[in-house]
Amino acid sequence: MMNLIVKTIANAVALGVAVWLLGDITLTGDSTGSKTLTLIVVALIFGVVNLVVKPIVNLLSLPALILTLGLFMLVINALMLLLTSWIADVLDVPFHVDGFGTALLGGLIIAIVAWAVELVLPD
């Protein structure tokens, strides 16, 4: 349970940094509290996508991952971020990623920041 909370906080912080750095990742809200709540909801969606969909995609793209020495993982991360954006749109959560290039850069930022936050937060 604690691991889930830590991962959700790490993802929320990482998504917040990506929203802050990239203008084409948008998060709307009336106040800081509503934006924070939206980030937590998006982090939960992102966590579920990474838990359910990503392993299947990783398995199906194993030849591409081997061929590119793992660099194809950046593309997979971008696709998971785009899927999260689409699910957020379906659920009427005010979060949107505009384009694959933005998702690619956003996925890289999220991976680095989430890794760094998980180092700081307790297990």
For β-strands 25-27 and 95-97, DSSP reports them as antiparallel
Q: Amino acid identity, residue 106?
A: G
Torsion, Cα 110 113 114 116, to 10 degrees, reads 160
pLDDT band, very low/low/confident/very high, at 18 (cuts 50, 70, 90): very high
Among candidate residues 62, 70, 103, 71, the one with its CA nearest the CA of residue 86: 103
Q: What domain range is 71 assigned to?
A: 2-120
Mean pLDDT of 20-28: 92
Q: Which two tokens stand for residue 31?
A: 């106040």
Instruction: Report which listed range, 1-5, 26-30, 79-83, is most confident.
Output: 79-83
Question: What's the rounded mean pLDDT across residues 42-66?
Answer: 93
Longest dimension (CA), the chain: 46
**Res 65 pLDDT > 80:** yes
Domain count, the chain: 1
pLDDT at residue 123 in the model = 63
**What are the C-alpha distances in Å from 112 to residues 10, 18, 115?**
10, 10, 5
Q: What is the value of pTM for the model shown?
A: 0.90
Top-confidence residue, 3 or 93: 93
pLDDT digits (tens, 9 = 90+) for 75-109: 999 999 999 999 999 999 999 999 999 999 999 99
